[in-house]
Structure 1
Amino acid sequence: MNPSTALAHVLVDELIRGGVREVVLAPGSRSAPLAYAVQQAEREGRLRLHVRVDERTAGFLALGLAKGSGTPVPVITTSGTAVANLHPAVLEAHHTGVPLIVLSADRPAELRGTGANQTTVQPGIFGGAVRWSVDLPAPESVESVGAFHRTSVCRALSAALGDLMGGSLAGAGGPVHLNVGFRDPLTPDFVPQRGTSAGPSARSTRPVGAQSRDGSGVHEGRADGAPWVQVPGDGWFSGAESIADVPRTLVVVGDLTFSSVRSSQVVAWARAQGFPVIAEPVGDHDRSLVIPHGPLLLTDREWVGAHLPDRIVVAGRVTLSRAVGGLLRAEGVEVHVHPAGPDWADPSHVVSRVGELTELIGRATGDVVVDESWATSWRDAGSLVAEAVQKDAAPWGTGLAVASVVGESLPDGAQLFVGSSNPVRDLDLGLTPRSAPLTVAANRGLAGIDGCLSTAIGLALTTDAPSYAWVGDLTFLHDSNALAVGPDEPHPDLTILVTNDGGGGIFRTLEHGAPERADDFTRIFGTPTGTDFGALCRAHGIRHVLAETREAAAEALSAKPAGITVVEVPVDAESHRGAHERLREVARAALAISG
């Protein structure tokens, strides 16, 4: 089977799994793989095909089918002006909320912009008239066709139906656009049926790639025939389905910013169910109710492999830990996600079900059956790791040591904004377990370093809670103009902790910071600035405290914020990689004892 045939097979198969029963086709050469696939699907009784010679007519036919049935209807075209001829139907669907799916074939990347025949700029051709769009590149091999393509179809169907998540944030349905690159050959291989000629002109032959399951290596869908991702909506995953049927369920809590549900509610729900909880640092939850040093626990692959959950329920968006990402990709683990807003995060294309957070925490707890021995093993492991970390604490001069001071020193009810790069990771791994209320916020939408001080100031101006921020030196410099608050402007009470490691210390924990790459590191990744932070603060009339000892840092952070105060803590740039590796070794040693 060739890659184009495989891709067409997977796209059409997933559309059908998602509820598509009508397809409109306007013939063309570049779209031939899709034409073969939908024709075979009709032969198998999986859909009804409508062929029209004019793309404008095809588009409006699909519009009428979608309007009449209330279900998404794809219209398939070849490349070039064929796609442009769908624009009137797309505009009508846009203004009336009809779930029209444009499935346009395109040239592969190497032919775009070269003057190749029937080639124009198709991605984005419909502008703001579509609810969602994607440009799928031509696959290099059959093996490269996979879950990413099935997930893309599921996202398209969800957007077309208006079933994007988030309760009141659910979007209105409408047209969507899947632009798909196809590389020659565009015709499938043929296998003659029994008793026919083997020649290519035999009328009784059939395309291998259009079969539902042919064992040829093409990526298969869910074994039960369901969509790759099931989303609440007509014909999709029912939110009323019980969550009590998998005794080994682990809950992972991510960023729930601007959700109607807070992390504290999710954690309380999970504990009431009896499920163990791993939580990222952002949120307002009681940190004594989650597995202490949970992300650190996940770095021990051997222990996790021996205690894998059967299902993971993800609340919000998890962005921080590679170990959490690795757990979600574990073979045989079913992943359900309940996002905070109008879309769901699934970079590894492993999510099988999407649900609403309000419905999740509203479920009754009486019928839940939990594998108590398994759940206890997770909680006990977290306690063992926490005890080991406390006994073998990171030395002062490391970001992990600063994280422990933050956990110990911030007052009850404090609000902490944490910047991207090392601070949020050190907080994730090194925060001392505490029962005292602490709300942590961060800009995790894109996890950039820009604007962090301004965001922290804005947060501090909207609360009476003791307000703090923790950022790295480059993050601080990137937004140092935030300190220029005019004399007639409202001024926050905010203590800003700056861990100064002299540049891009985050890269030392990544592959770029490996010892064998040391000769290249400082100039292009380390980027030391040599900035005098005390002088910078004086220029803005801001109080500056240089805390070179653990005691000095604890004293500065425990003081009630009054005005803007910058607490600078020098950190050894060379310590990041070793400190994190040492912390993982401590965790592994503790877990080895537990078995």
Structure 2
Amino acid sequence: MSICAFNRRWATAILEAVTRHGVQHVCIAPGSRSTPLTLAAAAHPGLTHHTHFDERGLGHLALGLAKASGQPVAVIVTSGTAVANLYPAVIEAGLTGEKLILLTADRPPEMIDCGANQAIRQTDIFATHPAAALSLPRPTPDIPVSWLLSAIDNLLNTHSGGAVHINCPFAEPLYGDMDATGEAWLQAAGSWWQERTPWLRAGQPSGVSVEPDWPAWREKRGVVIAGRLSVDEGQQVADWAQTLGWPLIGDALSQTGQPLPCADLWLSHPQAQRELAGVEIVVQFGSSLTGKRLLQWQASCTPQAYWLIDSLPGRLDPGHHRGRRLVASVSAWLGAHPATVRSPWAPRLALLAGEAQHRVEAATSAFGEAQIAHRLPGLLPKQGQLFLGNSLVVRLIDALAQLPAGYPVYSNRGASGIDGLISTAAGVQRATGRATLAIIGDLSALYDLNALALLREVSAPFVLLIINNNGGQIFSLLPTDSTVRERFYCMPQHVEFRHAAALFGLGYQQPADLAALRTALDEAWQTPRATIIEAVVSETGGVDTLRQLLAEVSQL
């Protein structure tokens, strides 16, 4: 028997099985032990292939593809630390619900814990972070293909979100000419090969449970909080809240249009606190809230009822309110709980929000990250999409900008790390083919610098806007000694990204003011290529402006 040929047949069955669950994209890193999986994926006509030499970035590329497409994405890596490098993406997917299917090649059992090269303990390597895991045996014709297909289907039939890990040991030889070995084994699946359905299908629970007392609650004073939502969900939530006359406090990721902008500034105002004290029910859609003041109010509010609706399982409520955790599609839940027309019960919040927005406009005249954050809506590409990085930039945008309703916004706000942000943004662009603006800080860019290689393959204009404030200036908000803070927290690197752009053959601009930034963006949106635009700004200007505005708005 040709071990090489049978490995290939076994891998072919695996790849075909995952495509029956909606996989259209596969991300592949180089490696020898993963050869059976790589060659099977390469030969599959229904797959779009993506490659990257860095497994950590590859995992985030898959995360971005899954985030924007809404479909599961497969990842193929070789054995050893290549698998471990997927960990950050596995964690993020587990928190935000993107579907990843990790196909990790492994050494066979006799090569583990005996000093063999590139052999580590890969079973359950991701601990509790995947949604599910399956450790396959070494490929053998003694196990029928029906077992392999049904084992994978059993794993994926209940895959509602997060990563699943399928560990795939392969014995050598991995290379050689294909012969008839395993052909009959593979064809034992019969007519299944001509169909498009899984070998083993399972029904999924459907429908939304209607809250029987909703007609009574919708007559009360409510507040809607909108966290991370899709475009359609954001628009539906905004319309629903407006109909009810309930104030809507929308996160930058809510895509609701944030009808009460700059909430992170005005929420701590005494008048806002008094107004919101009258709330009887809070209904939160989506999680991953960004604003500090919103999180503080969310944690301290004491309504009669607190409902949280999200398709992801888990509590998702750091305030641990007594209430109802409703796992459901936001759109379906809204359809089952219609709003009735009522007058706004807290109109003074809109006045506060308008005054806060006026103060922001006056305070962001100098070129810096606060000005860029506030004017971001006017910098977006038409019919494009936005990817927000983490740390200070997303907080400034959340506090100072009013993003347009229904404009697609993506982020990695599950674990809120800075790893893999460029890679994730590249995946988002590949999945949609839209013009993309990605905004990250300089340390985030350095952390994922080799992902610039992924930006050489874009299908539409892509701008990576790097806000270079020389370090992790979000830590300037900490009450620490300035010398200690600079050395051990902010860690300024004193770098410029011009040479990084040149290294990967990307366009580069370094505008010195807002007019030059607009010009650079207008030029970038004309060509389907990637451009790095570096905004070199004051180190603490963004933090200083935020502090100033918080003080001003609190005195309104």
- Shorter-chain TM range is 0.5 to 0.7
State the match for 1:585 in structure 2: 551
Matched, 1:424 2:391: no
Paired residues, what number? Answer: 353
The code of the aligned residue for 1:506 comes to I
Matched, 1:389 2:360: yes
Provide the C-alpha distance between the structure 1 equivalents of 2:374 and 2:384, rounded to a whole number of angstroms: 15
State the match for 1:562 in structure 2: 528
State the match for 1:292 in structure 2: 261
CA deviation after TM superposition for structure 1 residue 451, in Å: 0.6
| Residue number among 349, 363, 366 corresponding to 2:320 in the alignment | 349
Contact 2:243 2:342 (8 Å CA) reproduced? no
Contact 1:468 1:495 (8 Å CA) reproduced? yes
Matched, 1:249 2:222: yes
CA deviation after TM superposition for structure 1 residue 319, in Å: 2.8
| Residue number among 475, 484, 493 corresponding to 1:507 in the alignment | 475
**CA 340–393 in structure 1, closer or farther in 2 if over 3 Å, else same:** farther
Structure with the larger RCO, 1 or 2 (CA within 8 Å, 6+ apart): 2
Provide the C-alpha distance between the structure 1 equivalents of 2:385 and 2:131, rounded to a whole number of angstroms: 36
State the match for 1:311 in structure 2: 281
Provide the C-alpha distance between the structure 1 equivalents of 2:244 and 2:482, rounded to a whole number of angstroms: 49
CA deviation after TM superposition for structure 1 residue 557, in Å: 2.7
CA deviation after TM superposition for structure 1 residue 350, in Å: 1.8
Provide the C-alpha distance between the structure 2 equivalents of 1:539 and 1:478, rounded to a whole number of angstroms: 16
The code of the aligned residue for 1:430 comes to L
Write the deviation string for residues 86-116 of structure 1: whole angstroms up to 9, x where unpaired. Answer: xxxxxxxxxxxxxxxxxxxxxxxxxxxxxxx
**CA 299–547 in structure 1, closer or farther in 2 if over 3 Å, else same:** farther
Matches within 5 A, 1:230-379: 239-242=211-214, 244-245=216-217, 247-256=220-229, 262-287=233-258, 290-301=259-270, 303-308=272-277, 309-333=279-303, 334-355=305-326, 356=328, 357-363=330-336, 365=338, 367=340, 372=344, 374-379=345-350
State the match for 2:376 in structure 1: 406
The code of the aligned residue for 2:366 comes to W
Contact 1:253 1:278 (8 Å CA) reproduced? yes
Contact 2:223 2:246 (8 Å CA) reproduced? yes
State the match for 1:526 in structure 2: 490
Structure 1 regions of 5+ residues with no counterpart? 1-123, 133-166, 172-232
CA deviation after TM superposition for structure 1 residue 244, in Å: 4.8
Contact 1:414 1:437 (8 Å CA) reproduced? no
The code of the aligned residue for 2:334 comes to I
Instruction: Give 1 or 2 for the bigger CA radius of gyration.
Output: 1
Contact 1:315 1:340 (8 Å CA) reproduced? no
**CA 307–494 in structure 1, closer or farther in 2 if over 3 Å, else same:** same
Contact 1:416 1:439 (8 Å CA) reproduced? yes
Contact 2:240 2:339 (8 Å CA) reproduced? no
Contact 2:459 2:528 (8 Å CA) reproduced? no
Write the deviation string for residues 480-503 of structure 1: whole angstroms up to 9, x where unpaired. Answer: 11111497x565531111100111
Write the deviation string for residues 394-427 of structure 1: whole angstroms up to 9, x where unpaired. Answer: 2424321111232222233330101000111111
Write the deviation string for residues 351-385 of structure 1: whole angstroms up to 9, x where unpaired. Answer: 41122334531145464655x3x332222222222
Provide the C-alpha distance between the structure 2 equivalents of 1:376 and 1:345, rounded to a whole number of angstroms: 29
**CA 300–398 in structure 1, closer or farther in 2 if over 3 Å, else same:** farther
Q: Percent identity?
A: 24
CA RMSD of aligned residues (A): 3.1
Matched, 1:450 2:450: no
Question: SS state of the match for residue 225, structure 2?
Answer: strand
**CA 506–404 in structure 1, closer or farther in 2 if over 3 Å, else same:** same
Provide the C-alpha distance between the structure 1 equivalents of 2:404 and 2:229, rounded to a whole number of angstroms: 20
Contact 1:337 1:353 (8 Å CA) reproduced? yes
**CA 427–486 in structure 1, closer or farther in 2 if over 3 Å, else same:** closer
CA deviation after TM superposition for structure 1 residue 507, in Å: 0.6
Give the alignment's TM-score, normalised by structure 1. Answer: 0.54
The code of the aligned residue for 2:333 comes to L
Give the alignment's TM-score, normalised by structure 2. Answer: 0.58
Question: SS state of the match for residue 347, structure 2?
Answer: helix
The code of the aligned residue for 1:410 comes to L
Structure 2 regions of 5+ residues with no counterpart? 1-123, 133-157, 163-204
